[in-house]
Structure 1
Amino acid sequence: MSMYRQLWLAIILSTLLASIGSLLASTLSSRAYLNEQLRMKNADNATVLALSLSQKNIDAIELELVIAALFDSGHYTSISVSDPAGKEIIRRVAATEKNDVPDWFIRSFPIQSAPGQAQISSGWKQLGTVSLVTQSSFAYQTLWQSTKEMIATLALSGLIAGYLGTLILRRLRKPLRAVIEQASAMSERRFIVAPESKVPELRQLSTAMNSTVGLLKSMFAEEAERLEALRRQANTDPVSGLANRSHFMGQLHVMVEAEEAPPGSLIMLRLSHLAEINKQLGRNKVDALLKKIGSLLNTQANALPEGFAARLNGTDFALLFRQTEADTVTSTLLESICKELTEITDNPTAVFIGFGEFEFGIAPGALLSQVDGAVAAAEIGGISDIRKAAPLNIEQAPKSSDEWSKLIQRALEQQWVKLALFPVVDFDGKRIHTEAALRLMFGGEWFPAGRFLPIAERLGLTDKLDLAAVNLALDELARNSEVNDIAVNLSAQSIQNASFREQLRALLLSRPAISKRLWLEVPENGVFANLDAFRSFHADVGSSGCKLGLEHFGRQFDKINLLHDLKLDYVKVDGGFIRGIDINDANQAFVKGIGSIVHRMGLQIFAEGVSSAAELTTLSGLSINGVTGPAIGLATDTQSN
C-alpha cells in the first residue's frame, strides 16, 4: 500500500474514531442529563401533589378522582398512593407510548426515570405516601434528536477534516513526488535538481538529495574536464589552438567516406616567409600571430556546417566543412590574415590559398593532392592569391536545385528508394544491429544520401526522406527475421518539425512489435543545437519502444553534461577519434574515458569508421560495446520497390 493511501487511511480512521467517541460521549452525557431532569421533575411533582392532598380532608372516592384526573393528563407513566402501612390504595399505570424513536436506540440508551415520592400528612399525622413517574417518551425524542444533530455535525466536521487533509497531502505530495522523480532520475543516470519544500523535514530531504546530485554532477564534470584536456592534448596544435595534422587526417577520412553525408569543401592556406618573420620578431610574436590565425580559422569553422580547422605543419593550415560555396569563405580568410600580417611586420609576406570541393567516393589522398596543387599554383605568382582546384565530381556535374527537387520528389512518389545496410558487431563478431543509409534512384542509377541530402535540407524534404527510411527499415525487419535491429539516421532538421514527429509516432505505434527493434539516431551537433526539439522528439516517440542515440559523438565533448537529461540508449563515437587509434595513446585514453562515463550513465557505446584490424584490436580493450566501419563489412542493399 502506498504511503499516500496509508496517510489517507490514517486520516479516515482517526476521524471516524474521533467522531464515534464524540458521538458516544455526547449521547451518554445527554442521557445522564435527561435522567437527572426527570428525577427532579418526579420529586417536585410528587411533593406538590402530596402537599395539595395534605391540605384537604378528602375521602377515598375524592382521592381516587383527584389521582384519575391528574393521570389522565398524560404526563405520567404511573401514579400510586399507599397508606402508612405500605398498602396501595390507588394505582394508575399507563400503557407504553409509541413515538418515532427507533427501538434499537431505546434499548442501547435506556432512560431510567427514578420515581418521585412524598408524604401525605395532616398535621403530625401521616396519612399515606404518593409515588409518581413522569413519561420518558419526550426525553427519548429529545435524546434521539440531539444525537441526529450531533451525527450531522460530526459528518460535516469529517468532510472539512477530509478537505483539509487533502490540502495537506497535496502540499506534501508535490515535494515528495519531486524527490521520487529525482531518485528515479538518478537511477537512470540523469541528475536533476528539485525545488526545496517549505516543510522543514522534507526540506532537509530535498537539500540532501540536491547535494548528492550536485556531488555526482561535479564528479562527472571533473571526469569530463580531464578527458577534454586529454582530447585537446592529443588532437590540438599547442600554438595555434587548432586541430593537429593527425586529427585532421582522421576527420578528413570520416567526412569523405560518409555515404549519407552531403558534399563539402577543403581550403588549404600557406604562409610565406614565416621563418624570416620568426628571426625578425622573435618566437613569442610569431606564436601570437599563429594563435590569432588559429582564432580566425576557428571562428570561421564555427560558422560553417560541420566546420573543422587544423594546422597541418609550420606554415600550412586547413579548413574543412560541409558546403560547396567556398569562394566567399576564402576571400574573407585572405583579407583577415593579410590584415594581421600587415599589422605585425613590414616584410613582404604573402598568403596562398587553394580550395576544392568533394563528395562521397573521393579518395582523401586525391583530394589533398588536388587542393595542394591549387595552393602551389597560387604560390607561383609570389603574391597573396586564391586558386580553385580542378572539379572533383566523380560521376556527373552538379544539377540545379530545381532539377534535384524534381528528381527527389519523383523518386519518393515512385518509391524508387532502398536502404544500404552496414553491420555493427561486437568483438566476438556477433551482429548487434545494422546501420541503414537511404539511397534514391535517379535515371536508373542509385545515388547515396550525400548526393541529395543538401538539396533536401534546403527544400525542407528531409522529413519525407526520413519517414521513407524508417518505413523501409520496418518493412525489412518484418520481412527478414534474420536481420537484427536496424538503426536509421534522422536529420536534425526533421526532428524540429512537429508534423514529422507526429507522423513518425503514428508509424511506430502502428507496428509496435517491430518498432522495438528499431534504433533512431541523430547527429551530435544537431541534438546539442536543438535540445528542446530533441526532448520533444523523445517525448513523442519514446513510448514506441525504439532506441534513441547520438552519432558522431565526441566532437562537442565539452557538452557531455547535457547527456544526463536526454534519456538516450547509446552513442557512437565519431570516426575522427577512431582513425589511427592503434598508434595514438592519447585518443585511446580519451575513448576509454568516454566509454567509462557513458557506461555509468547506463548507455551503450559504439565506434564509427573502424578501417583496420589494428584499430579493431585496440578498441577491444577500451570499454566499447561494438564497432562499425570499412573493416567490419561492406554494405548490403535491401530489396527495392
Structure 2
Amino acid sequence: MKSSIRRRVLLLALLPATLLALSLGYFFTLSRITDLDQALRARGLAIARHLAPACEYGVISGNNQILQRLADSALAEPDVVSVYIMDRGGNVLASNSLKQSKLAGIQPGDIPVSSQNDTVTVATRSNVLFFRMPIRQTEVQVDDFALTSTPAPAIQPVNAAPLGYVAIELSRKATMERQNEVLRSAALLTIAALIATALLALRLGREITVPIMKLASAVDKIGRGYLDVRVKLGGNDDEFRILEDGINGMVSKLHRAHDNLQEQILQATAKLSYQASHDMLTGLINRREFEVRLERALFSAQHQDREHALCYMDLDQFKIVNDSCGHVAGDELLRQLTLHLQQEVRERDTLARLGGDEFGLLLENCPQDKALELAEIMRKTVEDFRFSMGEKNFMVGVSIGIVMINHESDNVVSLLTSADAACYAAKDHGRNRVHLYQMQDSELAKRRGEMQWVNRIQLAIAENRLQLYFQQIQPLQKQEQGLHVELLLRMIDESGQCILPMAFIPAAERYHLMPMLDRWVMENSFKLCDAYIAPDSCELQTWAVNVSGASLCDAGFVQYLKSHLVDNPALARTLCIEITETAAITNLGAANTFIKELKSLGCRFALDDFGSGLSSLNYLKNLNVDYLKIDGAFIKDMADDAIDLAMVEAINKIGHQMGLLTIAEFVDSERVLLKLKEIGVDFVQGNWIHKPENAEALCKT
C-alpha cells in the first residue's frame, strides 16, 4: 500500500513535467537545427548571387584570369570547399577547390535541382550543399538625348540562354557539429530538468505520502481492534492537522463506544444466561436448568448415598381458564399460582416450570415420608388457590407424581419418565391427588408399556411393518350381490408375529398417534383398491375403514380424502367410514362436518360400537349415518343373556325406525347367528362368519 501511494504521487508529479521537458527540448532543438541549416543555405545563396554577375565580363571576354581570381575570392568564404565557373556547355573556365570535388566534370543537367526564383539551383548530397547560378548577359539601356542630370541607365538581364554557370559547394560539417552541440546541450538541459523535477517530486511525495502512510497504519491498527492508537502527522498543513484531529477524535469516541458496548455485551450475556435457564413468564428455572440440577442430585444419590425426591406436577382444569378467558388469563393464573407455590418450597429445594401447565419440584435430601408430606402441601396449596378474571372465578387442582432418587436410580430421562407416568396415574385415579412411583405398580406398568408402544408404532411405520387385513360382512335377511368387507389394521412385530390393534391402539390414542395411523390406513386402502379391488370386476359393494376421533377434527385429513375421492367416484360410492359412538359424541360438531363433506361425494357412514355410551339415543338423530354397528359386548352373550338380547332387539328396532341398516359384530356361533336373523338384523360380522385374511387375498375372492 505504501509503495502504491508513492508510485502514484511520483507518477502524477513526474509524468506532466517529463512530457513538458521533452516537448520543449524537442521543439528547441528542432528550431536550432533548422536555423543552422537555413543560415548555411542563405550564405550559399548569397555567394552564388554575388559571384554570378561578377563573372559575366570574364566569360564574355574569355579572360580566365579574372574568373580565377573570382573563384579564389569565393573560396575564402566560410564553409566553401570548391568553386567552379563553367561556360554554357559545361566546360570549366575557372575552379578552385580544397578537396577533390564531386562537381569535377559535372554537366549542367547532372545535378538534381530544386528551383528558387528560376535562377538558383540548390541540391543536397551527403554532407554538402550544391548551389548553381546561371551567368546571364545584362543589357544597359542608355537614352542618347538624356540630360546629365537624369538617372543612370537601367541594367536588365537579357532573356537569352545563360552564358555559363557558377557552381559552389558548401560543407555541412561545421553546421552539423554545431547541430550536435545543440543536441547535446538540449539533452543535458532536459536531463537536468528531469532530475530537478524528480527530486522535487520525491520531496513532494515524501511530504504527502508519509502522513498518508501514518494514517493508513493507524486505520489498519484501529481496524484490528487497537483503540489506543494516536496519530501524529507533524507539519503545519491545515489539512493534515484536520485529519490528525479527526482520526484521534474518532479513536477516542470508538474507545468509549467499545467500552460501552463491552458493558452492554456483559449485561446482555447475563440476561441471555438468565433467559436460557429461567422461564420468562413465572421467573422459575426452566426444564433445561432443572435437568442440570436433577443430574447433580442424581450424582450425589449414586455416589454419596443420599436420597432425594422428584415431583412432577400437572395442573387439572387449567384448559378451562384458557378456553373461557384466553391465554392472557391463563398466563396470569400461572404467575399468581407460582407465587403461592414458592412460599411452600424449602430454601434448598428447586421449583421449575417444565412447560405449559407442568411444574417440577426437586426435594433434596428428602426421605419418602417427607416427600409425600411436602407434595400434599403443594396439592392443598393449589386446591385452595382461587383465581378471578373479571366476574369469573376459577379453581384448579394438581396431579402430582413422585419418584424417589437413590443409588438405584438409573438416569435423568428414566426419572422424568417415571415421574410423568406417576402423574398420569394420579390423573387416571381421579385427578387432584398424589401418586408415588413403585416398581411393581400395575398402573405404572401399563403406562410404561404404552410409552414403549409409541416407539414400536413409529418403527413399524418406518419399516413398513403395518398390514391391512379384511373380514367379510354377510347380508342376513336377503341375498345381495357383491362383497361387503371391513379393512382391519394389523402390526407385524420384530419377530414376525401378527399383533392385533387392541394391543397398540390405546397407546396410539393416548400419545396422539392415531392421525398418523389413520392416514396410513387410508393411503394403503386407496392403493389396495386401485391395484386389486376394481369395483366393476370384483363386484365390491362395500369396503369399510375405521377413522379415529382425532382425525374427525383434522381439516387436512378431510381435504386429503376429498382430493383422492373426487378423482375416483367408484371408490367413493363403495367406501364406508366407521366412526365409534364415543368419538362421534365427543366431537359432535366435527363429526357432522366430516360426514357432510364426504357424503357429498357418495361415501357412506357407520356408527361403530353403538350402545356402549350412556346417551347414544339422544345423539343418534343428529348424526347422518347409514349403518348402526351394534356393540359386540351385547352380541357375544345374547343367546344366553336376556338383557343383552333385549338391548340388541331395541337397538335394531330403533335403527330401522330411523331408516338405518344394522350390523351385528363379534358373531362367534350359529346360535347367535340364528337369534340375529330372528330379530331382523341386516348384516352380521365375526370370526364364525369369516376369519380376517390378508387384504391381498381380496383380488382372488
Q: Same fold (TM over 0.5)?
A: no
| Structure with the greater alpha carbon radius of gyration | 2
Please, what TM-score do these two structures have when normalized by structure 2?
Answer: 0.34
Normalised to the residue count of structure 1, the TM-score between the two structures is 0.37
